[in-house]
Structure 1
């Protein structure tokens, strides 16, 4: 049996190889775009879930204390953005992580709801002792929290905190 000479099929094999490589490159590009979009959607979903849960708690508290104007009805914890950057130049704290830590802090501050606004001096000291320097673990990373400012106005306790990653040596 005779084998046909390969030089006749060389051009066809080159075109086929370029076509297959183009398909692979296109698939990789499409997959990366799809995953970037999915990641953005997932992050937004997480943030909205935390916000919905916080709003549910606020609605329950407002229903419970709607007739008394001198109690803390709502607790808002705000994370100050840090200017720290990690090795890659990305912000050291992702927004989803910050929201998760804020949610955990709100749960820790839950006993302050319904307390009198006029007793905030003792409650503020208690909150500082409990939370200042506390370490929260989120997604297997440790973050330290320090309280910057506490303000009570119209039944809303607002707390500004700074969240920093803990560097273990």
Structure 2
């Protein structure tokens, strides 16, 4: 049995190898673009879910306390940038929203309280939440209350969120 010389098939094998490599490269590029778009969509979806839940709680509270003007009807939590830039660089918006929603559930008993008793309630909130550790996506974060402000039935709290470092 005689084997044909390989030189006859060399050009065909080179063209087919380039074609297969082009297919693989195109599939990788398409997959990367698809996952990038899907990731952006997923992050927006998570942010919207947290905002919807917060708005539902606010609507329920506003309906409950719409006739009284001296109670805390709404709690707004805002993240304040830390002085240490390396610690906040690892926080993505979804993680921040989840931590803020967990803090909102911890602060839920403050809704409906009198605005004039905020001095005792504020001290209590600081003692309970200052330095509290929240676990989000199997990572630990510590929250620190920086500022609390009550105006027109809205309690606004600025918090500083850092990854928790065990000592």
Separation in 1 of the partners of 2:124 and 2:133?
Answer: 17
Q: Give the aligned CA root-mean-square deviation in angstroms.
A: 1.3
Q: For residues 67-115 of structure 1, what are the alpha-carbon distances to aligned partners after superposition, in whole Å with 9 as ceiling and x for unaligned?
A: 00000000001011335236xxx92211110000000000000000000
Report the Cα offset of residue 4 of structure 1: 1.6
CA contact (8 A) 1:84 1:92 kept: no
Q: Partner of 1:108 in structure 2?
A: 106
Give the TM-score taking structure 1 as reference length.
0.94
CA distance in 2, matches of 1:128, 1:91: 25
1:79 maps to what in 2?
79
Measure the CA separation in 1 of the matches of 2:133 and 2:91: 14
Aligned position for 1:63: 63
Give TM-score scaled by structure 2 length: 0.96
Aligned residues: 166
Match of 1:27 in 2: 27
The gaps in structure 2 that reach 5 residues or longer are none
Report the equivalent of 1:153.
151
4+ long deviations beyond 2 Å = 81-86
